[in-house]
Amino acid sequence: MKLVNNLILILNLALSLTGYTKLFSKSGHHTSLTPSTISHCPAKQINLPEAELISDPQVAIIGSGPSGMGSAIYLGRANGDSPKRNIMVIEGELAGGTPMKAGTIQNYPGIPDIEGPDLMTSMREHALQNNVQFVPQKVTKVDFSSSPFKLELSGGQTIKSPAVIIATGNKPISTNVPGEKEHIGKGVAFCANCDGPFFKNKVIAVIGGGYGALRETGQLKQFASQIFIINKNDQLKGPDMLLNHANDPKVTVLNNCDLNEIVGNGTKVCAIKYTNLKTKEIKTLNVEGVFVALGQIPNSYIFKDQVTFNDKNEIVVDCQTLQTSVPGVWAVGDVTDKSMHQIPTAVGEGYKAGLNAESYLKKLKAK
């Protein structure tokens, strides 16, 4: 009975997202999408009410994806029915984060098949039930030099908080070629692990020639009938165990080739056009899917010189506590150097950071 009620809740939340259309049907075929103001994906944002800002939250969570929601739900529940502290989520550019553009999600425990926006709406409702405050703005600047930490918001306000959880995620590097934006979710994808099953027995192209492209190729081999790797360099680069993926009979490597255009009819991808950089010849290759594997960029730029980064501009965190180089500031999910880039692990990291933030605040109060 409890499972039925949960399914009904999810269905009702899905119906509340008026105007949203599935990225993929359950049969694996792509369907139409609604327009979007977000550059990488035509996903629909959650309809947000205007929020009354809390001047000084005890915990400020920057980002509203799975890791941010994990922190918010834990900290909200830890407050009980009579909130002892204010918990604020500053939602960022896309409320709900990248799962809003993920299509069907099939790896979340207990929910075998759910659309990304439905899952994130459910998480948001869970947090709201536990008195978490949501602010539909972005953080534009931070100052972690002393506590309470200062956060400047896109609406012009500055808030202070003794505890901050960074959950800003990352974004894929785009090809910036004609046809990419128009066909995201309609044949263009950025995650083989997420979307590979939708390309079973199809001919696809993987764009890139490094670690990410080889890893994606390895995952896609179990689904696609044929894979073309479009690599602008003269050879693939990566460890031997990944380079072996390119030796599969299903895989054809096109080195010294640069993508020019993704061709489609607005509802599906039909082909790509690319240039052979040696001969300057432009060719057309018929494919049904394009996986862009040029890497990811962490959304960490506003934290530069505030916390420690690695050489990939990911935020370095302690593997046990997820604390950054600044006590009282944690980072979770895809913006960190410890991320597994999966929704379930991101939620777990969020819970872990929330637990540590709660413990930290108790120690501050005891001083």
DSSP single-letter state for residue 99: G
- Condensed to tens digits (0 to 9), the pLDDT of residues 180-194 reads 999 998 999 998 877
pLDDT tens-digit series, residues 22-51: 333 333 333 222 222 223 333 334 444 444
Please give the Cα distance from 126 to 10 (Å, whole number). Answer: 11
Q: What proportions of the chain, in percent to the nearest 5, are helix, strand and coil?
A: 30, 25, 45
Token pair 């759910």 is found at 114
Q: Provide the mean pLDDT of the chain.
A: 85
CA 63 to chain centre: 11
- pLDDT in the model for residue 129: 93
Phi, psi of 200 (to 5 degrees): -65, 130
- Tell me what pLDDT residue 214 has: 94
Tally of residues, the chain: 367
Find the DSSP H helices in 173-237: 192-195, 211-220
Question: In the structure, what pLDDT confidence band is assigned to residue 83 with cuts at 50, 70 and 90?
Answer: low
pTM: 0.71
- 181-294 shares the fold of 45-171+298-366: yes
Question: Into which CATH architecture does domain 45-171+298-366 fall?
Answer: 3-Layer(bba) Sandwich (3.50)
The string of pLDDT tens digits covering residues 73-82 is: 999 999 876 6
pLDDT at 39: 30
Condensed to tens digits (0 to 9), the pLDDT of residues 278-332 reads 999 999 999 999 999 998 899 999 999 999 999 999 999 999 999 999 999 999 9
Tell me the fold of 181-294.
Answer: FAD/NAD(P)-binding domain (3.50.50)
Q: Is the pLDDT of residue 165 over 90?
A: yes
Query: Could you report the per-residue pLDDT of 232-255, keeping only the tens digit for each?
Result: 999 999 989 899 999 999 999 999
Higher-confidence residue of 240 and 56: namely: 240
Q: What is the pLDDT of residue 54?
A: 53
Burial 140-172 (b: 16+ CB within 10 A, else e): eebebeebbbbbbbeeeeebebbbbbbbbbbbb
pLDDT at 213: 94
List Cβ<8 Å contacts ≥24 apart for 356-362: 356/321, 356/322, 356/323, 356/330, 357/59, 357/71, 357/75, 357/163, 357/165, 357/330, 358/74, 358/75, 358/78, 360/163, 360/327, 360/328, 361/58, 361/59, 361/85, 361/162, 361/163
pLDDT of amino acid 352: 97
**What pLDDT was estimated at residue 205?**
98
- CA 248 and chain centroid, separation: 30
The phi, psi pair for 67, rounded to 5°, reads: -70, -40
Distance between CA atoms of residues 142 and 163, nearest Å: 13
Tens-place pLDDT, residues 195-227:
899 999 999 999 999 988 998 999 999 999 999
Which sequence spans correspond to the domains of the chain?
A: 45-171+298-366, 181-294
3-state secondary structure of 115: strand
Q: Who's near 131: CB < 8 A, 6+ residues apart? A: 76, 79, 83, 87
Contacts of 281 (CB under 8 A, 6+ apart): 275
